């Protein structure tokens, strides 16, 4: 495709209706609402209803992205769902989303890179679509953490929530679109974020249930140290590789892990000129949905102007980092 790149041509998001404030969470975990806000900058979050699963959230976000892109589901060639909280161990959640949307032309698969998964999935989408005229990929980040939180563990219960975000990728005119992406995997830190039971190494049993092995666990201090050490260099390395200094970035759309941590990343990476888009204060940490939800809000608010440089950053379990730089622009 001469003169073409792959870029984002539509975004969408969906957050469940139930709003859960800090006072309610604080009462459950044994802290105060002020303590939660001071430590995380989160004020409220959304929890899925009893009739909602991850695929339901994903479908809502996907419908909104397709509508904005001006496409029907039968125009999608690939459908990728990034999630670590799928509806079932099998089948893949993407197939449930495909069926609900009627996107039967699409080849589907899931990606599980926890909170970095959306950026990883975007790079896979770019690779699949590059060089193929009129190829469109629907990428969705969706997580439903409220079902795997231990409300006796204040380190995690105050942070995580439920949501979904989506983007449609397709050909755009240069100089717009995805300029470059870097992916980093550090398996030597795999134990920092985990769900210990339910897989082939530690299958479900009465013992794993009694021991709380199916709950989400996180070494908060270890995660913060990892992020401080590895994420800012990853951001500056991508910008430097593309010949665009971080000082030129107009918008920073990061994983919504923790508000205090995000402030540190911005300072360490030298992104103080950029507008940092935050949704965590009202939605909490929605895992793989964090980046696309924040991107959709920035897009729909009119904050992203044609030609703006937009830096996406996912980071989390694995441990993993995904960073991507785009020049925002209209479809071809």
Mark whether 285 is an active-site residue.
yes
162-173 and 4-14 as β-strands: parallel, antiparallel, unpaired? antiparallel
Q: Which residue has the tokens 């970095």?
A: 116
- If phi > 0 it is left, if psi is from -120 to 50 it is alpha, else beta; for residue 287 that is left
User: Shortest CA distance to 311 belongs to which of 259, 245, 230, 263?
Assistant: 245
Residue in 108, 115, 251, 299 annotated catalytic: 115
Residue in 135, 258, 277, 285 annotated catalytic: 285
Mark whether 255 is an active-site residue.
yes
Residue in 135, 136, 251, 255 annotated catalytic: 255
> Token pair of 138, please?
């629907």
User: Shortest CA distance to 231 belongs to which of 105, 320, 129?
Assistant: 320
3-state secondary structure at position 159: coil
DSSP 85-105: S-SSSSS-HHHHHHHHHT-TT
Mark whether 258 is an active-site residue.
no
CB contact at 8 A, 61 and 292 = yes
Catalytic residues: 115, 255, 285
């Amino acid at each position: 495709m001469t003169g073409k790149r792959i870029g984002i041509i539509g975004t969408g998001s969906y957050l469940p209706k139930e709003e859960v404030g800090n006072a309610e969470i604080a009462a459950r975990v044994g802290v105060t609402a002020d303590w939660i806000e001071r430590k995380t900058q989160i004020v409220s979050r959304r929890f899925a209803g009893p009739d909602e699963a991850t695929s339901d959230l994903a479908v809502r976000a996907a419908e909104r992205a397709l509508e904005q892109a001006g496409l029907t589901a039968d125009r999608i060639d690939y459908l990728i769902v990034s999630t670590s909280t799928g509806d079932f161990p099998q089948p893949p959640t993407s197939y449930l989303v495909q069926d609900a949307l009627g996107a039967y032309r699409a080849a589907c698969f899931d990606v599980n890179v926890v909170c970095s998964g959306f950026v990883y999935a975007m790079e896979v989408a770019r690779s699949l679509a590059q060089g193929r005229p009129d190829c469109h990929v629907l990428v969705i980040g969706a997580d439903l953490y409220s079902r795997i939180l231990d409300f006796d563990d204040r380190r995690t219960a105050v942070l995580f929530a439920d949501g979904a975000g989506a983007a449609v990728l397709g050909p755009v005119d240069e100089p717009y679109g995805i300029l470059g992406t870097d992916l980093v995997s550090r398996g030597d830190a795999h134990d920092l974020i985990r769900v210990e039971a339910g897989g082939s190494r530690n299958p479900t049993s009465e013992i794993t249930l009694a021991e709380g092995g199916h709950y989400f666990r996180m070494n908060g201090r270890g995660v913060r140290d990892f992020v401080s050490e590895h994420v800012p260099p990853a951001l500056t390395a991508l910008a430097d590789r593309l010949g665009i200094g971080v000082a030129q970035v107009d918008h920073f759309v990061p994983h919504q892990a923790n508000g205090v941590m995000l402030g540190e990343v911005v300072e360490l990476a030298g992104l103080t000129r950029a507008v940092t888009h935050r949704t965590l204060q009202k939605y909490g940490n929605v895992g793989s949905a964090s980046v696309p939800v924040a991107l959709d809000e920035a897009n729909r608010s009119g904050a992203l102007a044609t030609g703006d440089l937009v830096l996406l950053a996912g980071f989390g379990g694995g441990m993993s980092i995904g960073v991507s730089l785009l020049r925002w622009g209209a479809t071809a």
